[in-house]
Amino acid sequence: MRIYEAGILALLPLVIVNAIPFPPTLHITPPIQQTGEDQGIFTGGSTPFDGPKLNFFNGSASDWWYFDAVSMDGSTHVTITFLIANLTSAENFVGEFTSINSVIFTAGFANGTTYQAFLPAGDAIVTTAGDGASGYWNGTGATFSASHDMSRFEIYVDLPVFNVTGTIILNSFTPPHSPCSIDIINASQGLTDVLGWVNPVPDSNTEVNIAIGDDLIVFNGTGYHDKNWATVPLAETAAFWYWGHVRLGPYSLIWWDLFLHDTTEINHGYLVTADSVISVGCYGLKVRPTGFNSTFPPSGHSGNPQGLHIEYEFGNGKVFVVDVTGRVEWEPLFQVGGYTRFVGQGTGGFQGGPVYSGPTLYEWMRYIP
Ligand SMILES: *[C@@H]1O[C@H](CO)[C@@H](O)[C@H](O)[C@H]1NC(C)=O
Ligand SMILES: *[C@@H]1O[C@H](CO)[C@@H](O)[C@H](O)[C@H]1NC(C)=O
Ligand SMILES: *[C@@H]1O[C@H](CO)[C@@H](O)[C@H](O)[C@H]1NC(C)=O
Ligand SMILES: *[C@@H]1O[C@H](CO)[C@@H](O)[C@H](O)[C@H]1NC(C)=O
Ligand SMILES: *[C@@H]1O[C@H](CO)[C@@H](O)[C@H](O)[C@H]1NC(C)=O
Ligand SMILES: *[C@@H]1O[C@H](CO)[C@@H](O)[C@H](O)[C@H]1NC(C)=O
Ligand SMILES: *[C@@H]1O[C@H](CO)[C@@H](O)[C@H](O)[C@H]1NC(C)=O
Ligand SMILES: *[C@@H]1O[C@H](CO)[C@@H](O)[C@H](O)[C@H]1NC(C)=O
């Protein structure tokens, strides 16, 4: 296991992080995979924070930009993911895919109806300006664009085949961070040495205006963006993980509890408010399933748990405790194990302090037979 930099930031006031003034870049990834050994970037400083992280794509590699928005009551949401990956050999999906470039759009309405649009793409074109990335997946009608400092993202969808049009605008109020640090320049960007993750938008004030046919999804809520990449198939890198985010009153919490096939547990927590980073690091966080189907560790036959219990200890006697429950909103078919995305409500706060409720989106990924 790697040793990570970690630290308790006891209510440090937010400071402007000195970004490196990267020159603009342009990356074009064709829809056909290449052969050879990929190289991924797993430390900051040499390329834009939200930029592409792989030199090219063989059948094992993935690079994706993920966005979500959830209404404040947790009843309604949208997600959109811009992917470069062979979805069968690198990401474990079942299906026949004609391109390694794709966009997946999902939505959930207040009445529980879920929606999915899958869009194969031609070239995936990514430009960077400062640390921000903008993407154009040719032929899909979906784009994203970022400000240089990643404080604002605009996503446009115009998917004629599906009658989906609209915008998702994220205005971040939380500093971007690397897995174990708010340093976006010199810190590691690896959850493991082959799995990368950075979080340009931990939480944001987000405006959603989407029409799906005659149905509207219009709300102002919470929004999130991360970027993920791997040089080897995901099913080889991890056994299972619990990832998610929740807004609780003034607090925004991001969690990762990732288990490797050798049972190593890698955890990551980020607790932040609009004024301060309360804690960031790769220690002290634990996520366990609760209620029905909460067998732990889970097997490939375990059903979806009713909820998750998250405890985040800061080493100074303080503990942030959250329980989340949600509806199952997306469950694509996997070759091994499965994937479940939940959207709903979280409840919690500092142990002994005020208890807050708020919107959450979380996932349970498992590559276990
Ligand atoms: C892709 O490259 C990685 C090296 O980063 C290597 O481990 C993997 O075997 C390669 N995959 C294929 C299908 O060539
Ligand atoms: C993905 O990998 C599979 C298995 O190696 C291969 O059959 C398929 O053609 C690849 N898909 C693309 C779009 O390259
Ligand atoms: C749920 O709401 C959507 C959007 O308004 C609508 O299209 C759908 O028919 C509704 N489903 C049910 C079962 O009422
Ligand atoms: C997008 O795809 C179309 C159709 O294949 C092609 O004519 C066009 O040049 C492509 N645009 C870019 C920017 O790659
Ligand atoms: C899109 O809208 C048109 C016109 O209302 C309709 O004929 C078509 O069936 C819709 N397509 C889908 C995928 O909903
Ligand atoms: C990053 O590391 C370089 C080289 O060690 C150092 O000069 C620079 O000050 C560091 N930047 C930050 C933000 O820590
Ligand atoms: C969302 O916020 C914007 C800007 O404050 C406002 O113009 C808009 O009406 C709000 N939308 C909803 C659905 O509340
Ligand atoms: C637990 O998971 C199983 C699938 O393995 C499912 O059939 C069952 O309904 C789940 N239990 C509850 C209470 O939802």
Q: What is the pLDDT of residue 279?
A: 95
pLDDT tens by residue, 349-363: 999 999 999 999 999
Q: Which fold has domain 238-369?
A: AttH-like fold (2.40.370)
SS3 39: coil
Residue nearest to ligand 2 atom 2, measured at CA = 89
Q: Do domains 19-234 and 238-369 have the same CATH topology?
A: yes
- Measured in angstroms, how far is the CA atom of residue 233 from the centroid of ligand 1? 9
The predicted-structure confidence for 38-56, as pLDDT tens digits, reads as follows 999 999 999 999 999 999 9
Shortest-distance Cα residue to atom 10 of ligand 2? 86
> In sequence order, what E strands does 186-284 have?
195-212, 215-230, 240-248, 251-259, 265-272, 276-281
Spacing, Cα 216 to ligand 7 middle (Å): 14
Q: CA–CA separation, 147 vs 150, rounded Å?
A: 5
Contacts made by residues 287-292, CB under 8 angstroms, sequence distance 24+:
287/242, 287/255, 287/257, 289/242, 289/364, 290/323, 291/325
Ligand 3, atom 7, lies closest to the CA of: 215
pLDDT tens digit sequence for 253-276: 999 999 999 999 999 999 999 999
Per-residue confidence band for 16, with pLDDT thresholds at 50, 70 and 90: very low
Amino acid in position 192: T
Distance 163 CA to ligand 5 centre (A): 6
Look at residue 6 and tell me whether its pLDDT is greater than 80: no
Over the stretch 339-351, which tens digit does the pLDDT of each residue have? 999 999 999 999 9
Residues near 281 by beta carbon (within 8 Å), at least 6 away in sequence: 4, 6, 7, 8, 180, 181, 268, 269
Q: Residue whose CA is closest, atom 6 of ligand 6?
A: 186
Distance between Cα 213 and ligand 5 center (Å): 7
Going by pLDDT thresholds of 50, 70 and 90, the confidence category of residue 19 is low
Ligand lying nearest the CA atom of residue 138 = 4
- How many Cβ atoms sit within 10 Å of the Cβ of residue 366? 23
Task: Give the pLDDT band of residue 14 (cuts 50, 70, 90).
Answer: very low
Q: Among the atoms of ligand 4, which is closest to the Cα of residue 136?
A: 13
Report the alpha-carbon distance of residue 282 to residue 5 in Å, rounded: 8
For 221-237, what is each residue's pLDDT tens digit?
Answer: 999 999 999 999 999 99
Residue 15 has pLDDT above 70, yes or no: no
Domains of the chain: which residue ranges? 19-234, 238-369
Q: What is the mean pLDDT of residues 69-85?
A: 98
Which ligand 1 atom lies nearest to the CA of residue 35? 14
**What would the pLDDT profile of 295-309 be if each residue is shown by its tens digit?**
999 998 999 999 999
Both tokens of 340, joined, read 């479940």
Nearest CA to ligand 4 atom 4: 139
Higher-pLDDT residue of 20 and 85 is: 85
Average pLDDT over the chain, rounded to whole?
A: 94
Select 19-234's CATH number: 4.10.910.10, 2.40.370.10, 3.40.50.300, 3.40.50.2300: 2.40.370.10
Locate the ligand 5 atom nearest the alpha carbon of residue 214 and give its number. 5
Give the pocket of ligand 8 (CB within 6 Å).
292-293, 303
